[in-house]
Amino acid sequence: MASIAIQFGAGNVGRGFLAQLFWESGMEVVFVEVNSTIVELLNARRSYPLCLIPIPDAAAASGNEKDTASTPLQIAPVRALHTSQHEEIASEIARASVLCTAVGAAALQHIAPLIALGLVKRYELQRPPVNILLCENLYRADNVLREAVSQHLPQEVRDPILQRTGFVPTVVSRMIPIPSPEERAADPLYIRAESYHRLPADKNAVVGELPSISGLELVDNFQAHMERKLYSHNAAHAALGYIGWLKGYTYAADALKDTTILARIRGLMEETGMALVKQHGFDLLEQRAYEEELLRRIANPALGDTCDRLARDPLRKLAPEDRLVGAARLCLRHQIFPDHGAYAIAAALHYAHPNDVSARALQERIDLEGVATFLEAHCHIAATEPLGEAILRYYSLLKERTTDGV
């Protein structure tokens, strides 16, 4: 009998990445999902289609043709439980080989009681320790879920259960475009994703043994890998979204063909990359290779990624420890002035997509407080420090120029 992987969340990351890894490892995937339609379809079919988009090589990335080739997979066998099926979920957790979450930061609190119920049942049955892979875009998601689960465990068994449970943070870097309305209408289970296949995870958070899982890489210095994802990958993505949007581009791949934008994104990655090398001891050549591969992946037109998706939620992305301001501060700690980072932050301060609630709130605050006051209150960057001066200078320049002059 195949071992079982419990996947909390059957959304883009759950179906578009994690279930594939479990499937490749010979495991049966049991989704736990709040969307009743998705649950019903998964149970009716016991499979779903996943189309992998190849990562362009260096030669292909320099061309102008859109590469739409993809490799169709049928991920099976899969089953699904609705989040209301508490006892059934607990029974599956009791006999699973691994648990995994990809539900979004806000939903961790909602799945914690379900996990606690299953862990109690597992403990009563004297099952081996189990690990929960956390695939969330949230700093210290492991602490958040551990604390939430702890609150729902009976006090008399809380400590022994927590000692037998690994809360293992991971770094998800696969790019998974949001299906179009037409694709969703044709098949709600259809999903496309790039073929990037690595899932670094914190080796030191594992309790007992993990089953062999395709693509999973247990790393010692997890903080280094997490910061590289945030300050190289996420920072470049966000910067491209803001600068590309300001210049009127719809698609990220088209924006990256603009030589002035490409120079800014490459410059940002070089600044943060050097800071990451100094902070964590990455090999410089390996870091540069990582950056070049990342640029090829972002430039892949087959992803269909849009600038407004990359720019979404600017208030969160301009937080002091997040991808742009956090990367700039990391540079400054290592005596690297983040000129390209300052430009990206200035572009973000101009983001005003009418359908983005966070963008509207950003512009309202800037209009009310002034950009310098907002910068200090929200980003913790003083207008009088060199970084603040550079940001405000670029902010003024971008305000004066037409979109053709960005």
Note the pTM of the prediction, 2 decimals: 0.87
CB 209 within 8 A of CB 268: no
| C-alpha distance from residue 42 to each of 75, 89, 207 (Å) | 11, 16, 31
Residue 60 has pLDDT above 60, yes or no: no
Lowest mean pLDDT among 22-26, 72-76, 271-275, 335-339: 72-76
Using the Cα atoms of residue 318, residue 321, residue 326 and residue 329 in order, give the sign of their dihedral.
positive
| Torsion, CA 311, CA 312, CA 316, CA 320, rounded to 10 | 0
C-alpha 278/C-alpha 284 separation (Å) is 9
Number of folded domains in the chain?
2
Does 230 share its domain with 378? yes
Does 145 share its domain with 270? no
Q: What is the pLDDT of residue 137?
A: 83
Within 8 A by CB and 6+ apart from 99, the residues are 5, 6, 8, 93, 115, 130, 131, 132, 133
Q: What is the pLDDT of residue 154?
A: 97
3-state secondary structure of 53: strand
Does 253 share its domain with 171? no
> What confidence tens digit (pLDDT) does each residue in 123-147 have?
999 999 999 999 998 878 999 999 9
Q: Which helix (H) or strand (E) holds 101?
A: strand 98-101
> What confidence tens digit (pLDDT) does each residue in 385-399 have?
999 999 999 999 999
Does 232 share its domain with 211? no
Q: What is the pLDDT of residue 405?
A: 46
Domain boundary among 220, 248, 282: 220
The DSSP code sequence of 75-91 is E-SEEEEETT-HHHHHH
Looking up residue 276, the CATH number of its domain turns out to be 1.10.1040.10
Does 28 share its domain with 119? yes
Antiparallel, parallel or unpaired: β 165-169 and 71-75: unpaired
Which residue, 370, 340, 192, is CA-closest to 262?
Answer: 340
C-alpha 400/C-alpha 403 separation (Å) is 10
C-alpha 171/C-alpha 165 separation (Å) is 19
> What confidence tens digit (pLDDT) does each residue in 225-249 have?
999 999 999 999 999 999 999 999 9
Residue 49's DSSP bridge partners are 74
Residue 334 has pLDDT above 90, yes or no: yes
Phi, psi of 253 (to 5 degrees): -65, -35
**In 190-234, which ranges are continuous DSSP H helix?**
222-228
Does 49 share its domain with 121? yes
Does 232 share its domain with 168? no
Does 115 share its domain with 249? no
CB 353 within 8 A of CB 308: yes
Does 146 share its domain with 9? yes
- Buried b / exposed e over 364-400, threshold 16 CB at 10 Å, is ebbeeeebbebbbebbebeeeeebbebbbebbeebee
CB 169 within 8 A of CB 222: yes
**Which domain covers residue 70, as residue numbers?**
4-220
- The helices-and-strands tally (H runs, E runs) of the chain is 21, 11
- Give me 300's structure tokens: 């892949």
Lowest mean pLDDT among 109-118, 135-144, 264-273, 310-319: 135-144
The DSSP code sequence of 249-281 is -SBHHHHHHSHHHHHHHHHHHHHHHHHHHHHH-
Does 162 share its domain with 232? no
Domain boundary among 186, 201, 220: 220
Q: What is the DSSP letter of 215?
A: T
> What confidence tens digit (pLDDT) does each residue in 167-180 have?
999 999 999 988 88
Domain boundary among 197, 220, 243: 220
Does 291 share its domain with 216? no
Long-range pairs, 323-327, Cβ under 8 A, ≥24:
323/230, 323/231, 323/234, 323/235, 323/237, 323/238, 324/235, 324/238, 324/239, 324/348, 325/379, 325/380, 325/381, 326/230, 326/231, 327/230, 327/231, 327/235, 327/268, 327/271, 327/272, 327/275
Does 112 share its domain with 247? no
Looking up residue 181, the CATH number of its domain turns out to be 3.40.50.720
